[in-house]
Amino acid sequence: MTSPLEQKKIKIAGPSVVTANRTWDGIVVYRTAAKSWSPDLSEAAIVRNSDEAKALLAESVADDVGAIGPYIAPVQIGADGKIEPGNLREQIRRTGLTIGQPAQA
Amino acid sequence: MYAYDEIDRTLVNERVSEFRDQVKRRLSGELTEDEFKILRLQNGVYLQLHAYMFRVAIPYGTLASNQLRALAHVARKYDRGYGHFTTRQNIQFNWIKLAELPDALADLAEVGIHAMQTSGNNMRNVTSDQWAGVAPGEIEDPRIWSELIRQHTTLHPEFSFLPRKFKIAITASDHDRAAIKIHDIGLRLIKNEKGETGFEVLVGGGLGRTPFIGKTIKHFVHGRDILSYIEAILRVYNQYGRRDNIYKARIKILVHELGIEKFSREVEDEWQYIRNSSLQIDDEVIEDIRSRFAYPAYEKLPHMPDELRQAAADPDFEAWRKNSVAPHKVQGYSIVTISLKPIGAPPGDATAEQMDALADLADRYSFGEIRVGHEQNLALPHVAKRDLPALWKALDKLGLATPNVNLITDIIACPGLDYCSLANARSIPIAQELTRRFANHELANLIGRLHINISGCINACGHHHVGHIGILGVEKNGEEVYQITIGGRADEGAALGNLIGPGVKFDEVADVIEDVVEAYLALRERPEELFIDTVKRLGVEPFKERVYATR
């Protein structure tokens, strides 16, 4: 769960996606193969090596108006092809707080 | 309450217009994120895990009821119905949309609230004792001086691009509720032998990756010279503070590396240039600020009214009164701390409904005034003792009468990995579980005063270094691991806690804390010996032995 803000090099150990926050409202989004952003992880473009990751990240960074702070995040792909976040941080970003919100309490 | 003048109102409104234009240009693509980031940070806007986070300043922790209602309004209209009170007298909204931020700021500006300098490498919100102006034995109201410094440092060009953020806290009481020793500059109001008001000045305190307790740089600086002395410190910091390494950029590192004597000489040299300048404060300036603080028209009331005598028969009321109600400087009145730490809830959070209702209670029982403390609780500073039973009942209905102030479930916690982009581990679920473990009030009372502070990363927003028990979440091989320290404190005897041993996993934290507490109960010499004193007397070893003997 090392903060992506501390990522120095692009080195991926398995399937990964590029994620960011949408500029106008800040929600979590993923870069798609159609060169846009989606809040749905299942629509994310999957990269499997450093070169692919670099290319996807470069394209994402260039779309500065669409989303901010793009970075590469690990995912796991199940036998059924379902994409799941690869660590707790990304799990929390995808599914929300692990606690109830006070207004809902 | 402090009444802002036309200059303040104009400044705040102009800032909203300026930021509205900046947001518009950002959303149109005219500004890149790189260009915009510093502008949003200077207006308290961070990017967190799920959304933008908006941090609003509550200068020296003082709020009027209409201001609290405005915060409730922002929570309801622009966020998800709640806000989070921080350890530096700010409130944070976690789900704000950038496109709506200018409107939220405009709504807050109507009641004189802003978010200037709640982020970025500048002078942050000047904090103070949440009991300022009402604490018995106080030298004088520290908010007057806080306000002076706030005015001088707001948008000050020389302090807008410091090597790193800069925090000042002020206390005027013997018991330090403002945690001045863990601030970049800590100010303690004192009187000299002539009876003149001045300050003991501390410098170089701070937590984070490299924690230090502040050191006294000058034992007495006259009140009239305080701005020039602070400015001299900041000039030395601005000149020599490191900008090449963010981890070494805070003033605490400079003070540590130069040594307090050399640092102090540099400050003294700089001070001589500016001491007798326009920075010298005339008495009239202080009096003008003082006159803008409206103090309540207190009634002459008995020390022990009948209402209080009768309510004392109710053990639930007494349990709350014992921990939540403190003496006031005016006879017949009390200071009431409102716990934002209900059992099982995130520390420091309040819903819009609670904020609105508290504003109404403040109007009814506290001359329309609310305070925010660094422990993430609120306070009503002027409650007539006769009103305490009625207030307690009203707070209880709102879920705000948990009788745990200063007890083990009165936990300070940062937002942690549930919200924060810097965090490595979760803080809030740890706090929630601990409050459930120690929910029994009789047990919590038996344990007595014990502060648990939790941070979800080394940046230490949860002040873990100075918790009687500190819990620091880190990441190890992809797992959340928590390091436990004991013996820290943030008050006038400020000290950093010591590690008791290897980190423990998320699911083990509450068990370990139970072991530490059980060890304390077995080791204390008498019931009055506080946890912190037992640790001081015996050191870490007996606690370490207890925790790790079976692990």
Q: Which of A16, A93, A4 is nearest to A54 (CA)?
A: A16
Determine, for residues A99 and B346 on separate chains, whether the beta-carbon distance falls below 8 Å.
yes
- The token duo for B492 is 């006038």
Q: What angle do CA B112, B118, B124 make, to 5 degrees?
A: 105
Which chain B residues have a beta carbon less than 8 Å from that of A102?
81-82, 345-346, 349-351
Cα–Cα distance between B186 and B214 in angstroms, integer?
7
- What is the ipTM for the molecules in this complex? 0.92
* Residue A13 forms contact with B (CB below 8 Å): no
pLDDT at residue A10 tops 90: no
Residues in Cβ contact with A31 at an 8 Å cutoff, skipping those fewer than 6 apart? A17, A18, A19, A20, A37, A44, A45, A56, A59, A60, A67, A70
The pLDDT assigned to A105 comes to: 47
The pLDDT assigned to A3 comes to: 54
Is residue B396 within 8 A of residue A76, CB to CB? The reply is no
- Provide the CATH number for the domain formed by B412-548 in this structure: 3.30.413.10
Are the folds of B306-397 and B412-548 the same?
no
* Residue A79 forms contact with B (CB below 8 Å): no
Determine, for residues A1 and B47 on separate chains, whether the beta-carbon distance falls below 8 Å.
no
The Cα of B67 is separated from the nearest Cα of chain A by a number of Å equal to 20
Determine, for residues A103 and B82 on separate chains, whether the beta-carbon distance falls below 8 Å.
yes
pLDDT digits (tens, 9 = 90+) for A55-78: 999 999 999 999 999 999 999 999
Extents of the domains making up chain A: 16-97
Determine, for residues A26 and B98 on separate chains, whether the beta-carbon distance falls below 8 Å.
yes
- Give per-residue burial for B31-61: e unless 16+ CB within 10 Å, then b: bebeebbebbbbbbbbbbbbbbbbbbbbbbb
User: Cα(first)–Cα(last) distance of chain B, in Å?
Assistant: 53
User: Which top CATH class is B306-397?
Assistant: alpha beta
Cα–Cα distance between B10 and B8 in angstroms, integer?
5
Residues with pLDDT less than 50, chain B: none
Extents of the domains making up chain B: 6-109, 142-291, 306-397, 412-548
Amino acid, res. B292: R
- The token duo for B333 is 């009145």
Q: Which of B312, B319, B311, B531 is nearest to B441 (CA)?
A: B319
Lowest mean pLDDT: which of A4-18, A37-51, B23-37, B435-449? A4-18
The pLDDT assigned to A4 comes to: 55
Partner residue opposite A3 with nearest CB, options B51, B81, B422:
B422
The pLDDT assigned to B550 comes to: 84
Residue B204 φ/ψ region, left for φ over 0, alpha for ψ in the -120 to 50 degree band, beta for the rest: left
- The token duo for B465 is 């270094």
Cα–Cα distance between B360 and B66 in angstroms, integer?
9
Q: Distances from the Cα of B164 to the Cαs of B36, B126, B238, B384, B420, in angstroms?
A: 18, 16, 9, 44, 20
* Residue A78 forms contact with B (CB below 8 Å): no
Superfamily of domain B142-291: Sulfite Reductase Hemoprotein, domain 1 (3.30.413.10)
The pLDDT assigned to A8 comes to: 56
Q: What is the three-state SS of B526-542?
A: CCCCCHHHHHHHHCCHH
Sign of the torsion formed by the C-alpha atoms of B25, B27, B30 and B31: positive
Amino acid, res. B294: A
Determine, for residues B98 and A23 on separate chains, whether the beta-carbon distance falls below 8 Å.
yes
Task: Please count the CA atoms within 13 angstroms of the CA of B373 that sit on its side-chain side.
Answer: 28
Q: Which of B340, B319, B494, B509 is nearest to B410 (CA)?
A: B340
Cα–Cα distance between B283 and B286 in angstroms, integer?
5
Nearest Cα residue in chain B from A95: B50
Determine, for residues A97 and B419 on separate chains, whether the beta-carbon distance falls below 8 Å.
yes
Q: Which of B194, B199, B195 is nearest to B227 (CA)?
A: B199
Determine, for residues A101 and B50 on separate chains, whether the beta-carbon distance falls below 8 Å.
no
Q: Which of B163, B50, B145, B60 is nearest to B97 (CA)?
A: B50
| B contact test, residue of A90, A91, A99 with most B CBs within 10 A | A99
* Alpha-helix runs per DSSP H in A42-98: 50-62, 88-95
Residue B250 φ/ψ region, left for φ over 0, alpha for ψ in the -120 to 50 degree band, beta for the rest: beta
* Residue A88 forms contact with B (CB below 8 Å): yes
Sign of the torsion formed by the C-alpha atoms of B510, B514, B515 and B520: positive
Q: What is the secondary structure of B24-35 as a DSSP string?
A: HHHHHTSS-HHH
Pairing assessment for the beta strands B469-476 and B452-455 based on DSSP bridges: parallel
The Cα of A46 is separated from the nearest Cα of chain B by a number of Å equal to 21
3-class state of residue B439 by DSSP: coil
pLDDT (mean) for A3-10: 59
Q: Rg (Cα) of chain A, in Å, rounded?
A: 14
Q: Which CATH architecture has domain B6-109?
A: Alpha-Beta Complex (3.90)
- The token duo for B260 is 């307090």
Q: Rg (Cα) of chain B, in Å, rounded?
A: 23
Supply φ then ψ for residue A20, to 5 degrees. -160, -170
